[in-house]
Amino acid sequence: MKEQNEALLSSYTLPNGIQLKNRIVMAPMTNFSSNSDGTVTDAEVNYYARRSKGVSMVVTACTYVTPNGKGFHGEFGADTDEMIPSLKKLATSIKDQGAKAVLQIFHGGRMCPPELVPNGEIVSASDIPAEKGGVSTDEPDIKPRSLTETEVEEIIHAFGETTRRAIEAGFDGVEIHGANGYLIQQFFSPHSNRREDRFGGSLEKRMTFPLAVVDSVKKAVQEHAKTPFIVGYRFSPEEPETPGITMDETLVLVDALSDKGLDYLHVSLMDFFSTPRRGVEDLTKTRIDYLKETINNRVPLIGVGSIYTAEDARNAFASGIPLLALGRELIIDPDWVQKIAEGKEAEIVTKIDKDKQEELVIPDPLWNAIINTPGWFPGV
């Protein structure tokens, strides 16, 4: 291994004492490849096993905590105890290759396709349709229904129950999915949350649901985990909508999350070096720099976003973050970490090879999505 890459592959200890063998994490990515009953397929298990050898930690695709939270076709479920054997299969496939297995837990809210949820009824913080990306965007007569306070409490509880299932299935941790426009973000966003009860209104009240989910998850860990168990939280720093989440609002949330005793925070970015859209004074300073300042070493931050080469990774680490997640690049080249460890960084592949689906162990639904979405992956 080249000396300049030693930092990438040095070990790192999380706040709860769990040691990661290096600084590279597999980012959570939807793969559309589970069975229609919510159980994981062999193709999915093999896909994860193929990518779990080099990285220190794998964050799975998101799994839904309640039946009305299923956000994707081919998404696996964790909403009932019947799903524990399926979840166990996934956890084992990752851990057997030497990586920590972290289950990303989620509720899709207003982004759920109606055909995937009971009675086709989409729910959210309020009855405001999504502006882009959701079914409610394209269908003017489809509006989400505002959740009642009781239902909100039930979903908070469901996040805790899903955490218990993750523990029973042998996962090393969970990541709370508070990013990418899904339900937790919908409660934090002034675009989707127009409530007038304790879950909405002021910025502080819009933080009530996200922070309650964290408490529910941590309580489940306290009650059910016999050994240290990782709890992370993923967030998106800004929304393009007006009104929408601004960078300064996210810094208030991140400040609160930094005092919650989490094991890491994980920012969701398309570009690691991106700068804020609005809400802060200096729009030339990167979002990562703003986040690091606010966190002030209270909790580790995982950075992510269009990291393909070893040089990309070194530049990202130069910003001072302790951990780096790779998403698309680990689909393109599952041996990324091993190549760096063996001093073969020149052999890293950074564009998808359209002739190597089998060799790359990519399930058909994910492969078809990659090949039919120009611009999503380099080389397509």
Active-site annotation, residues: 182
Residue 353 neighbours by CB distance under 10 Å: 12
Burial class (CB in 10 A: 0-12, 13-18, 19+), 113: middle
